[in-house]
């Protein structure tokens, strides 16, 4: 239910670490709010913004809107070239529940923490209950990188960033050094 023609979409300014909006717990939406033209427009703009900056996910507070909306997509992404694809998904008012105790550590970055990468432990498998952009109920299981992206965005909606989840900062580094010293190690 995209009500905005593509030409009218906008690339939004991304909030960076230190902006208080990233540390606030976001607000859930009513069906009426979700289906309103401004919210549908926001979702279109979030998708556009995520694609523009080669993100695999974006939460609404990353574009200064403290609402429980996240978008994700893993396609041919130069920031994550080796990852399995995930179709474009809009999550509204999501609930994320770990399935099992299994934890996996892998690299993450964040558009709100530019140029850095670090290894973050995440549940390997999670269940997601959410609305889609039309308010239709979704209930699905995500594994591996898909589960990782969802947990990263879920954290954003709860005022957390991936740095909060790192066991220590020994792997934290800049993208250029990551590519040079870690990528093929």
Q: Which of residues 43 and 71 has its CB atom nearest to Ni ion in the complex?
A: 71
Select from 30-38, 98-106, 110-118, 140-148 the region that touches Ni ion (CB under 5 A). 110-118
Number of residues that bind Ni ion (CB under 5 A): 1
Q: Where are the alpha helices (DSSP H) in 36-174?
A: 37-52, 144-157
Select from 26-34, 92-100, 104-112, 141-149 the region that touches Ni ion (CB under 5 A). 104-112
CB-hemisphere CA count at 13 Å for 124? Answer: 6
Q: Which of residues 34 and 110 has its CB atom nearest to Ni ion in the complex?
A: 110
Q: Which of residues 110 and 130 has its CB atom nearest to Ni ion in the complex?
A: 110
Left if phi > 0, otherwise alpha if psi is -120 to 50, otherwise beta: which for 14? beta
Catalytic residue among 32, 73, 153, 177: 153
From the list 38, 36, 48, 40, the residue with the least C-alpha distance to 9 is 48
Told to judge if 153 belongs to the known catalytic residues of this protein, a careful annotator would answer yes
Among positions 154-183, residues that touch Ni ion (CB under 5 A) are none
Among 69, 71, 110, 150, binds Ni ion (CB under 5 A): 110
Mapped onto helix, strand or coil, the DSSP state of residue 131 is: strand
Mapped onto helix, strand or coil, the DSSP state of residue 154 is: helix
Shortest distance in whole angstroms from residue 57 CB to Ni ion: 7
Q: Where are the alpha helices (DSSP H) in 59-160?
A: 144-157
Dist. CA 54–CA 61, nearest whole Å: 18
Select from 4-12, 18-26, 76-84, 107-115 the region that touches Ni ion (CB under 5 A). 107-115
157 and 61 Cβ atoms separated by less than 8 Å: yes
Active site residues: 153
* Residues in touch with Ni ion (CB under 5 A): 110
């Amino acid at each position: 239910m995209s009500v905005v023609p593509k030409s009218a979409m906008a690339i939004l300014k991304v909030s960076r670490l230190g902006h208080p909006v990233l540390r606030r717990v976001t607000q859930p939406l009513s069906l009426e709010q979700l289906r309103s033209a401004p919210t549908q427009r926001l979702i279109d703009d979030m998708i556009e913004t995520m694609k523009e900056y080669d993100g695999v996910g974006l939460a609404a507070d990353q574009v200064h809107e403290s609402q429980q909306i996240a978008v994700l997509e893993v396609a041919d992404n130069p920031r994550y070239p080796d990852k399995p694809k995930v179709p474009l998904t809009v999550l509204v008012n999501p609930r994320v529940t770990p399935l099992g105790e299994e934890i996996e550590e892998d690299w993450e970055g964040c558009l709100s923490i530019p140029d850095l990468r670090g290894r973050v432990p995440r549940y390997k498998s999670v269940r997601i209950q959410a609305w889609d952009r039309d308010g239709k109920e979704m209930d699905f299981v995500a594994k591996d990188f898909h589960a990782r992206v969802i947990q990263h965005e879920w954290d954003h909606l709860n005022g957390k960033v991936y740095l909060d989840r790192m066991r220590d900062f020994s792997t934290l580094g800049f993208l250029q050094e990551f590519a040079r010293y870690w990528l093929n190690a």
